[in-house]
Amino acid sequence: MNRSIVETIIGGLVLLVAVSFGFFAFSSSSGGSSNGYEVVAEFDNANGLVSGTDVEIAGVKVGTVLRQELDKDTYFAVVTLLIDEDVKLPKGTSARILSDSLLGGNFVSLEPGGEDDYIEAGGLIIDTQGSVNLMDLLGRFVFSSADNN
């Protein structure tokens, strides 16, 4: 009888710790959505981007990808970025989709522009470069060198 009470108390503590961990994980992952401003970038190829993908300047995370949609007129990917409120992007800023490694994992890299004015909330980054398919490039290289032999 005494043993089952101890097991019940330990089980309750384990359950309490699991619930508190889940609450902490949920609150820390969804809590950053209000601490910034949105900007939009249009890419010809947004392969590898998903909501939550990092946005970086000089290798430092300054935001995340909120969402992406297809522009039905131009067939470009319209990507909405959430930029930290303490980071001001100068007009003329460019955006590129780069690969973390050969195994995948893309991110958006921003290169700040040189103008004195800043991109407003909801503004557009005009100079963009979409993602490059590394396997396609490797295949082209292999087949082009095979054709030369």
Confidence (pLDDT) at 36: 92
Distance CA 95, CA 92 (A): 10
Return per-residue pLDDT of the chain as tens, 149 residues: 567 888 888 888 888 888 887 777 666 554 444 589 999 999 999 888 899 999 999 999 999 999 999 999 999 999 999 999 999 999 999 999 998 876 668 899 999 988 889 999 999 999 998 887 777 777 888 887 666 66
User: 70-97 pLDDT, tens per residue?
Assistant: 999 999 999 999 999 999 999 999 999 9
Distance CA 140, CA 1 (A): 73
Distance CA 111, CA 30 (A): 27
Name the nearest CA neighbour of 130 among 70, 50, 76, 93. 76
The SS3 of residue 147 is helix
